Amino acid sequence: MTVNFGEFSEDGREYVIHTPNTPRPWINYLTNGDYCALSSHVGGGFSFFRDHRFNGVLKRDLQQSQNDLTGRFVYLKDEESGEVWTANVHPIGKFDTFEARHGIGYTRIKSSYNHIFANLRYFVGPEADAELWTIHLENRSHKTLSLSVYSLAEFSLGNISLYEGDVNFHSLFNKVEMNEYGFVASHNLWFPKYGWSEDSHPWKHRVFLTTTQRPDKITTDRSAFFGPFRSVVNPRGVEGEYLPQGSGGCTELVGVCQWRIQLAPGAVWSVNEAIGMYHASAGKEPQQIVEKFQFSTTYENSWKAHNEHWARLLSSVEVETPDLDINIMMNVWNKWQLFVNFYFGRAPSYFHKGQYPGMRDCCQDVFGVIPLSRDLAKANLRRIGGFFFRDGQATGGCNRIGLKEDPSLKVDLPLWFVLAVADYLRETGDIDFLNESLPLMDEGSSTIYEKMIMGIERIVRQQGPHGLPLIGKGDWNDAANAVGEKGQGESVWLAEFLCHVICEIAPLMHLKNDAAKLIFYEKRAKELKKIINAQCWDGEWFVRAFRDDGRPLGVKGEKEGYIWINSQTWAVIADIADAERLNTCLDSVEKHLGTPYGLTNLAPAYTKYDHTIGLITGFKAGWKENGAVFSHASSFNVVARAIMGRGWDAVDLFRRILPSSKESDHYLVEPYIYSQFCAGPDAGAAYGQGAYHWLTGTAAWMFRAMTDYIIGVHPELYGLRIRPAVDPSWKSFTMKRLFREATYMFRFENPDGVETGVRQIYLDDQLIDGTLLPLPTQKQHHVRVVMG
């Protein structure tokens, strides 16, 4: 039986959770794009500024996905009876009523216990790098109560690798200046590496905690607050009489504020608390920054500005299909997830300790955001463009705090940049962007265009034994890292991807009059297609790669991993073969990799470590890249299905990938955002369990799969190409989309219930020829598309 833990609010803008006891902490990200706070539905979580590895603020519990034992907890104590509970419900767990609402960048929790109603709100406002908490209480009992209210935050400042390795040593470097409303803390040990380094100096940021009501006590000493042999479930500072005032001790830094209040029947009480960053570059004294957070109006103004900001950003694209789940996802949650990915790359989630914001991932996140905000996308492309080397190599990571990075051995990375820039240029027509010069990681600078070309050059001229590009230390599939480590292994997927990227850059090369090079690239693409068809076709699907010793990977007859997904999907996207073969590829994918939740990466999963393939074979069978239902790769396949005009198939797969289509009591993770994968059929009883939530390229590809390939409005340099591929039961659907300063209102009609094909297109009531809408001539255009 499926348990109902929550549902979307009617307008889809909130996910409402009815119980604190969800199968996993269900989280949200609260952010202004710089300061980032993760918050579970019970207020667990941690925070950081821009880069979690180097700018930690609130501390993370290493088992957060299960225990959720650090966070923004509010303890309440009845001073008469001595009873203690938490307004968040967890970690103590006592409650009469509970409701949590995750919205766009905020989390609210309403709970009650013994007639005390609590209302908590957490968000990060746009104008300051601070998380803002509001605690509101109401006494609905018949007697006046003496309560103590305690807010608890635990800190891990700066470079968290040290904290994770040696917490007490790390804590020795904290310095705290107390004031009546809170404190300002600094940290005197920081180094620009993840892992210990001698190259240290004080962290340049400071962190403040302040409140709108002077607390009766403030303590920053963790051991004094918790007491020995205790934890967040029973802190001595709350349960006992004794809570020390001030800073002291050499244990970790906490921020605990205590307010003693009297609440008459019916009376309410509120306090706001801010925890945020003071940047030395602001040129002000910390106190000046902090003071404004001692006024409640700051919090309310910030709340208003926050909501307006996101409503504006999310409104650039809106769809209405006959499927409500798709609409909610597309119009609200997918977009929100996209922005979280866009700002923080593969930062920490509750499952993953987090890594650097990867080049490949960042480019795909930009690709997702382009239709929503060209300005943000452009700024990010500029930033990413700074992570290239003269020879066309790219770094693995694109950090946001100005650190140097080394070249990566993942061979596909530079090509993702080409894909994202080409898409940005189609969206904006901002061709001059190609001429912008950006510094190189090694020395000198090069233009955006040169970076794109150099990235292609690296791969286009390589030829392994079959004439395909070398796979080196891995391509899209991070965990297939040993296939070509000896320098001979080749990637079929990379060959396909390269062909696609050459198509993407071709119109730009025309504009740059780079004809000779383009002819060479196109010749190479033709050659690659020939090789792939002649040497990599296994009868019903394409081989995935060739190992160093020349043996193919992903072929019939292998016991494990006989079919891999991406070399089928990208054969379609890159138009590698004739339609019959491409359709056979899609059929094979569904037949061998199809599950009710999406598609697995490969089948069957590997059960023994194989040194000729790599890490992927070390994962448990059915998990991660080793045969899990991998949402990211599945979302590429939605695109491929739509390209082949298989509208029903595309929408069907889209629906299967939707988190809301899964049963929460088995799927376990959030039903309102995509997770990287759920366990595959080879995972036994765990099959279907979701994991690695939030930070995944799925967000970008699902979004674009719907807008550009299913609804089928795809920007080109000189207009919008219309090519819908839908579920034939969709009789009509609409989309609003901004394009080149104009708003387009699309209405699609499908009177004959077809899957694809366009009979007529009316632009502002004028029938147009063909399927390309010309560039806009006014601020708003109405487009009616009749399918058939």
> Residue 143 burial (CB < 10 Å; 0-12/13-18/19+)?
exposed
Which span sits near ligand GLC by CB under 6 A: 120-128, 477-485, 569-577, 759-767?
477-485
- DSSP letter at 705 equals I
| Separation CA 295–CA 298 (nearest Å) | 6
Count of CB atoms situated within 10 Å of the CB of 683: 20
Q: DSSP assignment of 657-711, as one string?
A: H-GGGS-HHHH-S-SSS-EEEE--GGGGGGTT-EEEES-STHHHHHHHIIIIIIS
Least distance from ligand GLC to the Cβ atom of residue 236, Å: 42
Total number of residues binding ligand GLC (CB under 6 A)?
A: 13
Least distance from ligand GLC to the Cβ atom of residue 406, Å: 17
Q: Is 99 in the site for ligand GLC (CB under 6 A)?
A: no
Residue with Cβ nearer ligand GLC (358 or 712): 358
Least distance from ligand GLC to the Cβ atom of residue 584, Å: 25
Which span sits near ligand GLC by CB under 6 A: 152-160, 281-289, 470-478, 583-591?
470-478
Q: How far is CA 513 from the centre of its chain?
A: 38
Least distance from ligand GLC to the Cβ atom of residue 500, Å: 16
Least distance from ligand GLC to the Cβ atom of residue 567, Å: 14
Q: Is 320 in the site for ligand GLC (CB under 6 A)?
A: no
Q: Residue 742: which H helix or E strand, with range?
A: strand 742-749
| Separation CA 556–CA 96 (nearest Å) | 58
Which span sits near ligand GLC by CB under 6 A: 358-366, 512-520, 713-721, 740-748?
358-366
The candidate with the shortest Cα–Cα distance to 367, out of 214, 504, 173, is 504
Which span sits near ligand GLC by CB under 6 A: 355-363, 398-406, 482-490, 581-589?
355-363
Least distance from ligand GLC to the Cβ atom of residue 355, Å: 8
Q: Is 478 in the site for ligand GLC (CB under 6 A)?
A: yes
In the list 59, 426, 547, 632, the residue contacting ligand GLC (rule: CB under 6 A) is: 632
Q: Is 473 in the site for ligand GLC (CB under 6 A)?
A: no
| Separation CA 296–CA 526 (nearest Å) | 65
Residue with Cβ nearer ligand GLC (74 or 471): 471
For 444, the token pair is 């000198």
Q: Is 365 in the site for ligand GLC (CB under 6 A)?
A: no
In the list 233, 376, 479, 772, the residue contacting ligand GLC (rule: CB under 6 A) is: 479
Torsion of CA 647, 653, 656, 659, to 10 degrees: -100
694-713: which residues touch ligand GLC (CB under 6 A)? 696-697
Q: Is 346 in the site for ligand GLC (CB under 6 A)?
A: yes
Instruction: Indicate left, alpha or beta for 264 from its phi (over 0: left) and psi (-120 to 50: alpha).
Output: beta
Cis peptide upstream of residue 774 (ω within 30 degrees of 0): no
Beta carbons of 623 and 679 less than 8 angstroms apart: yes
Q: Is 693 in the site for ligand GLC (CB under 6 A)?
A: no
Beta bridge partners of 279: 205
**3 state SS of 48:** strand
Q: Residue 579: which H helix or E strand, with range?
A: helix 579-593
List Cβ neighbours of 410 (8 Å cut-off, separation of 6 or more): 360, 396, 472, 473, 474, 475, 478
Q: Is 358 in the site for ligand GLC (CB under 6 A)?
A: yes
Which span sits near ligand GLC by CB under 6 A: 3-11, 121-129, 473-481, 538-546?
473-481
Least distance from ligand GLC to the Cβ atom of residue 632, Å: 5
Q: Is 477 in the site for ligand GLC (CB under 6 A)?
A: yes
Least distance from ligand GLC to the Cβ atom of residue 521, Å: 24
Q: Is 514 in the site for ligand GLC (CB under 6 A)?
A: no
Least distance from ligand GLC to the Cβ atom of residue 695, Å: 7
> How much of the chain is helix, strand and coil, in % rounded to 5?
30, 30, 40
Least distance from ligand GLC to the Cβ atom of residue 637, Å: 14
Q: Is 676 in the site for ligand GLC (CB under 6 A)?
A: yes
Q: Is 395 in the site for ligand GLC (CB under 6 A)?
A: no
Least distance from ligand GLC to the Cβ atom of residue 675, Å: 11
596-625: which residues touch ligand GLC (CB under 6 A)? 625
The candidate with the shortest Cα–Cα distance to 658, out of 647, 677, 668, 672, is 672
Least distance from ligand GLC to the Cβ atom of residue 359, Å: 9
Least distance from ligand GLC to the Cβ atom of residue 414, Å: 14
List Cβ neighbours of 379 (8 Å cut-off, separation of 6 or more): none
Count of CB atoms situated within 10 Å of the CB of 752: 12
Count of CB atoms situated within 10 Å of the CB of 626: 29
Cis peptide upstream of residue 91 (ω within 30 degrees of 0): yes
| Separation CA 348–CA 755 (nearest Å) | 40
Residue with Cβ nearer ligand GLC (500 or 632): 632
Instruction: Indicate left, alpha or beta for 345 from its phi (over 0: left) and psi (-120 to 50: alpha).
Output: left
Q: Is 772 in the site for ligand GLC (CB under 6 A)?
A: no
- Residue with CB nearest ligand GLC? 478
Which span sits near ligand GLC by CB under 6 A: 31-39, 207-215, 297-305, 353-361?
353-361
Return residues touching ligand GLC (CB under 6 A).
Answer: 346, 358, 360-361, 476-479, 625, 632, 676, 696-697
